[in-house]
Amino acid sequence: MRPAVFLDRDDTINVNAGLPDAAWRGTPGDLLDAAHTHLIDGAEDAIRRLRDAGYAIVIITNQGGVARGHGSVADIDAVNDRLRDLLPDDPLADHREPAPIAPSLIDACYACPFHPAGTNARFADEHAWRKPNPGMVAAALAELSLDANRSWMVGDKQRDLDAAIGAGIAPERALQVGPNADLPDLAAAVDLILTPPPMPRVLAASRVVLHADLATNPRPLADERVRETVLASARAIAERTGVELLDASATDTALTATLAASRVAAMGFAAELRRATNAWHLGRHKRTLWLDRSAD
């Protein structure tokens, strides 16, 4: 299944807020005039980068201006077709044979002409496709066999993000752009989408063993208090030094510690543990606990 980037249309791909009065047949809002369809600077390059990375490009747009009597479904299609013209799949290709729809970077367009406050009775409804409802995104995922787990949404309104999240796209993959958002525009959102996640830092596990001095006591760690003090000291030194102690265990004659650290760091840990517990054991039992060269 292919991942997709779902894109809001007006003020995400094409200019809307800055259009002249001539662009509107009623109050400014949904763009229903193909003659005033202009890409936002950087949008074509951003979308081309997404396609090159293997993403399907799906436009998801509310167009309630149709319900309000400012245009028709044919006007929605005309603007979408103009966007396809402005976003050719291969800008250098010589398409000598006419085609109903020229090859475009856009894989599909989904539009909702409904609005609950509409004056056109046919479209005066709070439809399941109208964002923030997830209907359009859910339909595209199913009809185009897209992978929601690897897909993204980019839009300039919270309702764009809510629609995608409601259809199963992870909230962290729903990005808002615009002057009041963290990301200024589509190009910045694409930079984020295409930035590889940081690789986890993996350290090989290192094991060290401290061998007890058996000259004066053949089983020094058989003493429960000695054993618990040594293990507690190992945990405390690991916490203090920032070394991850994966495991620590003791027999009657040795301590074994496994750490997520380099060999050098593990040997340093062992040296400090030997020093600290030797000092404690010498003060309590008048003899050292470990051999002088007891770490391996």
Q: Is 11 a catalytic residue?
A: no
Rg (CA), the chain: 33
Cβ neighbours, 10 Å, residue 279: 12
User: Rounded to whole angstroms, how far apart are CA atoms 101 and 58?
Assistant: 15
Q: Is 10 a catalytic residue?
A: yes
Provide the H-helix boundaries in the chain: 43-52, 73-86, 135-143, 158-166, 186-193, 224-241, 263-285
Residues 6+ apart with CB under 8 A from 208: 256, 257, 259, 266, 267, 269, 270, 295, 296
Question: 10, 11, 75, 107: which one is catalytic?
Answer: 10
DSSP string for 26-43: SSS-S---GGG--BPTTH
Burial 234-264 (b: 16+ CB within 10 A, else e): beebbeeeebebeebebeebbbebbbbbeee
User: Rounded to whole angstroms, how far apart are CA atoms 184 and 2?
Assistant: 27
Is the distance from CB of 148 to CB of 140 less than 8 angstroms? no
Task: Name the strand (E) or helix (H) holding 208.
Answer: strand 205-212
Cβ neighbours, 10 Å, residue 116: 12
Nearest to 12 by CA among 59, 63, 52: 59
DSSP string for 224-243: HHHHHHHHHHHHHHHHHHT-
Structure tokens at 282: 């010498």
What are the catalytic residues?
Answer: 8, 10
